[in-house]
Amino acid sequence: MEPIKIDGSQGEGGGQILRTAISLSAVTGTPVEVTDIRAKRENPGLRPSHLAAVKVVADLFGARVENLQVGAEWVRFSPSAGGRFAGGPRRVDIGTAGSISLTLMAAIPAVSLSGNGLEIEITGGTDVRASPTTDYMRYVVSEAYRSAGIKFSLDVLKRGYYPKGGGIVKATIEPCSKPAPVELLNGRAVAPRITSVCSQLPKHVAERQISAALLSLEKSGIKCTNYTASFETAPSPGTSMLVYSASDFGGPFVGGDSIGEVGKRAEQVGQEAAARYLESTLAGAAVDPFLADMLVLPMCLAKGISKYRTSRVTEHLRTNLQVARQVAGCKYDIVQSPGKGEEFVITIQGNSA
């Protein structure tokens, strides 16, 4: 079978194009060839974290991968006949502070939607730039996926920040033969929660992050009484925090995360996380802009029509929808809510519909 050609420079031109393409390839058994990988980035081509994601999925599904090396600007991914799944516990070391979350974003839907379960332990960065924090994955993404029948849990054994990484996350993924379509249109008020973490820094750093976030929420008329500050071990100093609301009764599934960096005050971390949360909450969205992107892959394989409301349409989301249509053959539509300047409804008709 000739591979489907995917232009890696389309839309936002980032690594998500590759991750979505290989995940869908593994589940559907359709070979893909992704060219011009990360062409719009300062350092185009595969980076170690992208390499890790492809290797994990290829290993799990017995796929043949051509040109898999750091810096490669094209990759051909060909799943084995019948989509063989090896299964069994796994250990993966990204080898840098590369994002564990981005690797899981490729592995979780591929494994679960192939009807298989897996325990996998990944070493790398738990909370790093240009990536969802691990807490966002386990408190927001996991709950949203659960509403579609995709169940996974994450256990953070050790935090990992830039530059050393060294964080360890154990993921338990349950099988899902076919995801259920979702209708997440209700942006009803659900009390927020806050989790704030610091490593190799005084605990008051995590507490200051919380105080800043609480103040931002209060200024918008939102009260939060459920918050925790924790000190966790890590090879490098770092901080992260998450402000979120997640309900298993039709949403919302909304989160705002932020990480600490050299020269960035704890108060700024808290304000950033709160601002990202408030963007969706104040707009009445049921899904935040980043989760809207992550829902594309499972929903394009659902048997039925999915609809969800978000506060903003990112270039990541548009690009992911295009890739899903190319590989899985799904249909989609983006409609701005009538009379509302900051709400959009995403409709996806799964390829099994």
Measured between alpha carbons, how far is 184 from 144 in angstroms, rounded to an integer?
9
Q: Residue 62's CB: how many other CB atoms inside 10 A?
A: 16
**Token code pair at residue 89:** 């516990």
Set 50, 208, 309, 316: catalytic member: 316
Measured between alpha carbons, how far is 209 from 197 in angstroms, rounded to an integer?
9
Q: What is the CA radius of gyration of the chain?
A: 19
For the chain, the residue count is 353
DSSP state letter for 88:
S
Whether the Cβ atoms of residue 30 and residue 334 lie closer than 8 Å to each other:
no
**Token code pair at residue 274:** 């709160």
Q: Which residues pair with 345 in a beta bridge?
A: 309, 335
Nearest to 254 by CA among 300, 292, 212: 292
The yes-or-no answer on residue 316 being catalytic is yes
Whether the Cβ atoms of residue 234 and residue 273 lie closer than 8 Å to each other:
no
DSSP state letter for 137:
I
Identify the residue whose tokens are 């981005």.
102
Instruction: Reduce the secondary structure of 179-237 to three states and give it as a string.
Output: CCCCEECCCCCCCCEEEEEEECCCHHHHHHHHHHHHHHHHHCCCCCCEEEEEECCCCCC
Edge-first strand order for the sheet with 32-35 is 4-7, 32-35, 75-78, 64-66
Residues recognised as catalytic: 316
